[in-house]
Amino acid sequence: MLEIINMQQGPIPIIVRSKRKLRSFTTLTIPGRGKGFNRVVIEDEAVTEYIKMVEKFGLISTRVIN
């Protein structure tokens, strides 16, 4: 499991693998820091290279959860 934390004020859309179809992607929007809902936990199978790229830019922070 991977916990993604939005570090920005506004929402950030990220691309993850879809649960419903085999080779498709979907967009997951993470809200901003305002109300404390800026944390999302996704499965390891849904992680894409786009998440690593957005983390490199400093927009999000990730943490591995067992």
Reported as a single tens digit per residue, the pLDDT across 11-25 is 999 999 998 888 899
Distance CA 52, CA 34 (A): 24
pTM metric for this prediction: 0.86
Q: DSSP strand E in 1-66: where?
A: 2-6, 12-17, 25-30, 39-42, 60-64
The ranges assigned to domains in the chain are 2-64
pLDDT at 21: 87
Q: 15-65, pLDDT tens digit by residue? A: 999 988 888 999 999 999 887 899 999 999 999 999 999 999 999 999 999
pLDDT at 57: 94
